[in-house]
Structures are given as structure tokens and as C-alpha cells.
Amino acid sequence: MRDIQILETPLNTQSCHDAVADPAAGGIVVFVGVVRNQTKSRKVVQLVFESYVPMALKEIDKIADTLYQKWGILHVSIHHRIGVLEIGEIPVIIAVSTPHRQAAFEACQYAIDTLKKTVPIWKKEIFENGTVWVSAHP
Amino acid sequence: MRDIQILETPLNTQSCHDAVADPAAGGIVVFVGVVRNQTKSRKVVQLVFESYVPMALKEIDKIADTLYQKWGILHVSIHHRIGVLEIGEIPVIIAVSTPHRQAAFEACQYAIDTLKKTVPIWKKEIFENGTVWVSAHP
Amino acid sequence: MKIKLVTFGIAKEIIGAPECNLEVKVPCNIGDLKQILMTQYQEFKKLQSIKFAINENYQEDHFLLHEGDEVVIIPPVSGG
Amino acid sequence: MKIKLVTFGIAKEIIGAPECNLEVKVPCNIGDLKQILMTQYQEFKKLQSIKFAINENYQEDHFLLHEGDEVVIIPPVSGG
């Protein structure tokens, strides 16, 4: 099962967990990103996520390919949300199931690290007195 | 929040996730153990988990201490089930939240690795033609 | 020849529109396009990086553009 | 002196009961107790390891036992 979605509605941890559950799985690792209430001690009010959706799905699909090839995973579920998010809401969930747990940790961490580098999704932080496109400038 | 429980009823991934959610968390990592349908190609029918409960809670508490001290985690939730489990059911869930995601992965992995070494819980695999206390013999 | 630019994130704010047409000399590769944009829009020089995608795939500097190509400007991503 | 043994997992099957009393000479430490058990119950020799807990804490070989101590036999754990 390869469950890749970009959604405009709230994400759900249980859904991603259930998508990768399997009697042959020894372990499931789930990473849940959360919108933090501050960046470098500046108070974040809201976040806006924007995506070039067809390419983002394609890039996430490449990540999934690597998980199957390199870590022999059983299933993967990657959901990313776009639109306006409030503090504490979930922009991303990645769930991976594998026969042995070590591979699940490694694969899940690779997936989130790579997603943050290659997938065309952009985050704008809204502060009380301004906005910033995250990572845009050095 | 330090949510440590040994339960005789089915575990729930969402509960552990919710127990560690926090607006100051940048990431949550959840490990979910699953009862596999085979061990070394021998078909497992059921599993029985037994525990020396008061000491198990104490040992899990020591693991939680280390997570706070070494990885500066925000919250941890560790649920372990005992009794009879069917294939695909969940014996253990560990959820950890941290300000930055790398620490959550490391802390969660340390917790499950250590739990398997130090916490007085024993697993008996029931096969079609016999039973085995896991790890008892070399 | 004419190419179409599509923008997201901070690139959309720099260009001032989600898409626009651009007249470029032939031949023109991605590297040339990057230079043209940095000259026309100084703000692009301040970005950490700038990449380009065609047909939903990243393309390198040497990739040659053709009349009517739709080029997506990919400023530094920050998903997750 | 008399000590109480409490067992779990495979140790319970080897001893044949969840708890029992044992008469030991004074002085007797955890290491001595381990030897006594391995002599009385050969099956303990086949285990990967065997540990002991008193007051819900692991104790090493040199730990000295006292009359009435409740000693929990901890065969190799396999939780998770």
C-alpha cells in the first residue's frame, strides 16, 4: 500500500497508521509534524502551506520508491496538508511499516528529511507584525 | 506529561499521540509494535504477554527519565499491553514529542530498544504445535 | 521565442503574478533563464537557491528550452 | 534462613509455581542463590541469562540476602 495525499483538510494520525498496518509488520513508525508556536523565539500566529501539487505528488512518490528499494518496507502513508494552519495543527504525517523495527525508524526519518529538501511545498509563517517564507533566504 | 501504562485492553495509537501533542512540539514520533504472523518462518497463532507489573512500571519510568535528561523531550507516552494477543494486535506503543524532530526519532528508538532489554515483560509465542518463551534460550 | 513562467511561494511575490510569459533569445537553457531572471528581478539574487522544473521534474542548468515551454520556478522548499 | 522466591515467564514453568519458599545458609548473596537454583533446577543453566530483583530493582551477585527477603527471578525479558 502506497498512500500519498496532499490535502486541504485536517490530517489524522490514526488514518496513516491504519493505512500501513499489516500482520507481517513487526513495527510501524509514524512521524507527525506539528505547527510550532514559535520560530527563533518569534511568535507564530498562523502558517500557510502552498504546493505545486502534481510535482509534489511525483516527488513524494520518488521518496516512496526509495523506501521500498532501500529499506524493504511493507507500506507507506504520506499525507501533507496545504492551506492555512493554526498552531498545534499537523502539516505532515509519515507512517512506515516494516518487518523489523530498525528499518522503519530509518525509512521514516529518511522520508521526512528528503521531503523537506525536494518536495515543492512552501511554508509562510505569519507573525503578528509580518510574514516570512521559511528557508527562502540564507 | 509522562503517561506510562500497562494495560490488559487493546492499545490505541491515537491516544498515545494525543498524550504527547503540544504547541511547542515540532515533531512527534510514534513507534507501534505489532504481533507478527511468523517468527523464523514458523507460524505464530497467538501471543501471551506476562509482566512483573510494579517493577515494569518502574523500569519504564527510568527510560522516561533518560528521555527527558538526554533528549530534552516535551512529553512521552508508553503503553504496553499484557495478556493474550492475536496476530496484528499491538503489544506496545511509544510516542515522544520534542521541539525538533531529530531528537524525537532518537529518543523513541532508544526507548523501544531499552524497553526490550530491561523491562520485566515476557512474551510467549503460541505455535500450532507448541509454545516458546521468546529470548529465553541462546 | 516565448516561454511561460509559473511561480510559487516567494517567487510569485517577486514576479508579482502566478504566471507570465517571457521572450528569450534562441538558444536559451535553464542557466541562461536564471541569469535573465536575476537581472530583471534583483530579489532572486537574495534567495538561498532557485531551481526550475519542466513537466513536473527538476531540470539542471544545461537543459535547453523550447518555444512554448512551461517553466516552473522553484524557490527553496520548506514543506513538512 | 528462609527467603521467598517469586517467578515469572519460563522461570515459573521451571520452578513449577508462581512463588515458593527456600531455605538457604547464612550468609547468602544473589550469586550464591543463582548457584543453588542452577543446581536444584538444571533448566536454569540453559537460559540465556538470569537476573534477580529485590524491591522492584535489579540486584547484582554481591547483594546480600536477609531472612524473609522476597527475591524475584527475572528470566530473559522479551517485551515490546
Decide if B56 is inside a domain: yes
Number of structural domains chain C divides into: 1
B36–A21 CB contact, under 8 Å: no
**DSSP for residue A136:** S
Decide if A138 is inside a domain: no
Q: Identify the CA nearest to A95 among candidates A116, A75, A65.
A: A75
Number of structural domains chain A divides into: 1
- Under a CB-based contact definition with an 8 Å cutoff, are residues A40 and A118 in contact? no
Residue-wise pLDDT tens digits, B17-36? 999 999 899 899 999 999 98
- Note the pLDDT of residue C75: 98
Top residue of B52, B82, B121 to mutate, by most chain D CBs within 10 Å, is B52
ipTM (interface predicted TM): 0.94
Q: Identify the CA nearest to A11 among candidates A76, A88, A122.
A: A88
Decide if C79 is inside a domain: no
Q: Evaluate the omega torsion of the peptide bond into residue C27 and state whether it is cis, within 30 degrees of 0.
A: yes
Q: Identify the CA nearest to C50 among candidates C19, C15, C75.
A: C75
CATH number of the structural domain spanning residue C44: 3.10.20.30
- Note the pLDDT of residue A42: 83
- Note the pLDDT of residue B36: 85
Residue-wise pLDDT tens digits, B71-130? 999 999 999 999 999 999 999 999 999 999 999 999 999 999 999 999 999 999 999 999
* Residue range of the domain that includes C70: 2-74
- Note the pLDDT of residue D21: 97
Structure confidence at residue C12 as a pLDDT band (50, 70, 90): very high
Residue-wise pLDDT tens digits, A16-33? 999 999 989 989 999 999
Q: Closest chain C residue to A83 measured between Cα atoms? A: C79
Decide if D79 is inside a domain: no
B32–A36 CB contact, under 8 Å: no
Decide if D15 is inside a domain: yes
Decide if A135 is inside a domain: no
Stretch (H or E) spanning A19: helix A13-20
Averaged pLDDT, C30-55: 97
Decide if D38 is inside a domain: yes
Averaged pLDDT, C38-54: 97
Q: In this structure, what C-alpha cell is assigned to residue B5? A: 501504562
Q: Nearest CA of chain C to the CA of A136: how many Å?
A: 5
Residue-wise pLDDT tens digits, A83-111? 999 999 999 999 999 999 999 999 999 99
CATH number of the structural domain spanning residue A13: 3.90.1170.40
Residue-wise pLDDT tens digits, D17-76? 999 999 999 999 999 999 999 999 999 999 999 999 999 999 999 999 999 999 999 999
Decide if A134 is inside a domain: no
3-state SS, residue B102:
helix
Q: Given a cut of 90, is residue B41 above it in pLDDT?
A: no
Q: Given a cut of 80, is residue A41 above it in pLDDT?
A: no
Non-local (6+) Cβ contacts of B124 within 8 A are B47, B48, B49, B50, B131, B132, B133, B134, D9
Residue D3 to residue D21: CA distance in whole angstroms: 6
Q: Given a cut of 80, is residue D9 above it in pLDDT?
A: yes
Decide if B138 is inside a domain: no
* Residue range of the domain that includes B88: 2-128
Nearest-10 Cα torsion for C28, C31, C37, C39: -100
Residue A134 to residue B121: CA distance in whole angstroms: 46
Q: Given a cut of 80, is residue B39 above it in pLDDT?
A: no
A23–B34 CB contact, under 8 Å: yes
**DSSP for residue C46:** G
Q: In this structure, what C-alpha cell is assigned to residue D9? A: 515467564
- Residues above pLDDT 70, as percent of chain A: 100
Fill in the amino acid letter for D52: F
> Which residues in chain B are closer than 8 Å to D8, comparing Cβ atoms?
50-52, 120, 122
- Under a CB-based contact definition with an 8 Å cutoff, are residues B27 and A34 in contact? yes
Top residue of A16, A36, A89, A110 to mutate, by most chain B CBs within 10 Å, is A36
* Contact with chain D for residue B80, Cβ under 8 A: yes
- Under a CB-based contact definition with an 8 Å cutoff, are residues A43 and A37 in contact? yes
Structure confidence at residue B1 as a pLDDT band (50, 70, 90): very high
Residue-wise pLDDT tens digits, C26-35? 999 999 999 9
Decide if C80 is inside a domain: no
